[in-house]
Amino acid sequence: MVVTLVFLGKLADLAGEGERELAAPLNWQGLLAALGDDLGEFIAGETVKLALDGELLADKTTLLAVDGSEIALLPPVSGG
């Protein structure tokens, strides 16, 4: 049972990869623990958004990903 994490933009650079698979089920605390201190702390910040199976979560701490889910980590948007 697997959940796929997709790192977008500069988050891919910080993670050192574009995708990672983690064991399902996965909640918010499990995600932070799996990402480690530095990346987990950055992801927990206000500017990083999280989408579960294509739906943006209003409160990322409510995350509950099951087998086959995809979690997209969306970096802060910069102006241009």
CATH number of the domain residue 25 falls in:
3.10.20.30
Counting the structural domains of the chain, the total is 1
Structural domain contains residue 55: yes
Six-digit token string for 44: 């927990």
Residue-range definition of the domain harbouring residue 20:
2-74
Which value, to the nearest 10 degrees, does the dihedral of the CA atoms of residues 56, 61, 66, 68 take? 40
Structural domain contains residue 37: yes
pLDDT of residue 78: 59
Structural domain contains residue 79: no
Walk along the chain (80 residues) and give the pLDDT tens digit of each residue.
999 999 999 999 999 999 999 999 999 999 999 999 899 999 999 999 999 999 999 999 999 999 999 999 999 875 55
In this prediction, what percent of the chain has a pLDDT beyond 90?
91
Structural domain contains residue 36: yes
d(CA 56, CA 15) in angstroms, rounded, equals: 21
- 14 Cβ neighbours under 8 A, 6+ residues apart: 7, 38, 39, 42
